[in-house]
Amino acid sequence: MSEQTVTIHNPVEDFLRMDRIPHIWCPGCGIGTSVNSFAHALTDANIDRKNLAIVSGIGCTGRVAGYVNLDSFHTTHGRAIPFATGLKLANPKLNVVVYSGDGDLFAIGGNHLIHAARRNIDLKVVCINNLVFAMTGGQTAPTTPGDVVTSTNPYGTYDPSFNLPYLVEAAGAVYVARWTAFHVKQLARSMEEMFAKKGFSFIEVLSPCPTLYQRRNKMGDGLDTMKFYKQVSKVRNGAPTNEVALTKSGEIVVGKFVDRERGDRGDYGNLMHDSLVDALGDDYVETEACSCQ
């Protein structure tokens, strides 16, 4: 009997820098699962990878920039949004994705995020929300729900937490959705929709951190968290964002909450372009990379 060699090709492999594998993520972590959805979204939406850049801050989620085989930038903590804004304004034809953690985007980087949303900068933001600062040991973050045990609140948290969809909608985002690491297909579809959108777009992905969140709160491992997500998630597309705040063990409302145009202002890049043309007339020289209008 002759021996046969079977080669199995993982379609996601093309998106990864295989020389960087094995990755640092713990078993049961949800970050890699979200990257799988992202890779599928890029393929299904036929996104031109030559005109795509991905920017991460620092944290376990920040490592995404190092593992994807794309033009990627691993920036300093909290500075993914301003870095991405610079990229987008210098080269408007780029699709610029910010992929970072809840702490990076809403604690140290919170100010940058709300102002990018206010100005309607055309960025696609994916926030992996594991409800803590994971990389540094599981400290309380602005996203940590009440009563959760963390390394800095060993008897339970008592700070109010941000409701991310509500916050970004109020700041001006044109697209807002939330899924969990359990909702891999819905997440990929939302990512595709986000690529079709012009303006500040935001997807929150609830993701297990079994090592530093679930373990301390006696919520089991990664698989238990997937079961928990499945059990308590409720799809409510169009739900008012002030009704989707998270608690430690209550319902998780998921879905697409906001998909709108900003009547008050268009995309920031186009406004900047028009303003320069108005002010400088024939003296305005468009860069080759510019594809405004």
Ligand X SMILES: Cc1ncc(C[n+]2csc(CCOP(=O)(O)OP(=O)(O)O)c2C)c(N)n1
125 touches which of ligand X, Mg ion, ligand SF4, none (CB within 5 to 8 A by kind)? Answer: none
Q: Among candidates 22, 103, 29, 26, which has minimal Cα distance to 67?
A: 22
Site for ligand SF4 in 130-169 (CB under 6 A): 130, 134-135
Q: How far is the CB of 151 from Mg ion (least distance, A)?
A: 13
Q: Give how many residues touch ligand SF4 by CB under 6 A.
A: 12
Residues near 252 by Cβ (< 8 Å), separated by ≥ 6? 178, 180, 206, 229, 232, 233, 234, 246
Contact call for residue 157 and Mg ion (CB under 5 A): no
From the list 89-97, 100-108, 254-262, 274-282, the region that binds ligand X by CB under 6 A is 100-108
Binder of Mg ion out of 102, 169, 192, 204 (CB under 5 A): 102
Distance CA 235, CA 80 (A): 30
Q: How far is the CB of 192 from ligand SF4 (least distance, A)?
A: 25
> For the range 221-229, what are the long-range contacts, defined as Cβ-Cβ under 8 Å and sequence gap of 24 or more?
221/27, 221/28, 222/27, 222/28, 222/29, 222/30, 223/28, 225/28, 225/30, 225/181, 226/181, 226/182, 229/180, 229/181, 229/182, 229/183
Contact call for residue 267 and Mg ion (CB under 5 A): no
Q: How far is the CB of 120 from ligand SF4 (least distance, A)?
A: 30
Nearer to ligand X by Cβ, of 165 and 269: the residue is 165
Binder of ligand X out of 39, 42, 54, 60 (CB under 6 A): 60
Binder of ligand X out of 34, 130, 157, 233 (CB under 6 A): 130
